[in-house]
Structure 1
Amino acid sequence: MQSPITLTVNGEAKALPAPASVADLLASIGLDGRKVAVERNLEIVPRSLWPVTPLESGDELEIVAFIGGG
C-alpha cells in the first residue's frame, strides 16, 4: 500500500490515499464539480482532465467556488 499524498488545498494541509486525482480530491471534500474551478501548482486544470490529473505529495491546489447572485 502506498503512503498518503500530502497536499496543500487553499492554504491548508490535506492528506489523501494514493493514488488520487483532482476528481478524487473534490469527492473527498464533497464539492460539486459543476460549481468550482481548480488550480494545481499555479495552472488551471480543465474540468475534462480532473479524473486523469494525478496528484502528488507537495502539490498546491486552489479551489474556487462560483457563487451566483445579483
Structure 2
Amino acid sequence: MPDECRIHVNGKEATVPAGTSVSDLLVSLGYPAKIVLVELNKEVLPRREWSVRRLQPEDRVEVLRVVAGG
C-alpha cells in the first residue's frame, strides 16, 4: 500500500498520507468543521461520515464555507 495519496482539494492537486480521513484533511487545512460543507466527488458528504471516510487516490474534495445572510 502506498504511503501517500494524490487528491484534488478545491481544484488544486494535493498529497495526503494514505488513510487520511476527511476530518483529518479539514484539520490539516485549518478549516473549522462547524462552518464548512464538504463535497466529495461531486456529492455532499454528510458530516457524520467525515471521520470514517478515507480519501482515495484522485478523489476530488471541495470545501465550502457556510455563511449566514441573505
Same fold (TM over 0.5): yes
SS in 1 for 2:38: strand
Q: Which residue of structure 2 aligns with residue 13 of structure 1?
A: 13
SS in 1 for 2:51: helix
Instruction: Indicate whether 1:28 and 2:28 are aligned.
Output: yes
User: What do you get for the CA RMSD once the two structures are aligned?
Assistant: 1.5
Where does the alignment leave 5 or more consecutive residues of structure 2 unmatched? Answer: none
1:27-52 CA-to-partner distances (Å, cap 9, x unmatched) read 11011000000000111110111000
Where does the alignment leave 5 or more consecutive residues of structure 1 unmatched? Answer: none
Counterparts of 1:69 and 1:45 in 2: how far apart (Å)?
Answer: 23
Bigger fraction of residues in helix: 1
Show structure 1 runs of 4+ deviating over 2 A.
67-70
Q: Which residue of structure 2 aligns with residue 67 of structure 1?
A: 67
1:2-51 CA-to-partner distances (Å, cap 9, x unmatched) read 32111111100111111111001101101100000000011111011100
Question: Structure 1 length as normaliser, TM-score?
Answer: 0.90
Q: How far off is 1:69 after superposition?
A: 4.6
Counterparts of 1:60 and 1:50 in 2: how far apart (Å)?
Answer: 14
> What is the number of equivalent residue pairs in this alignment?
70
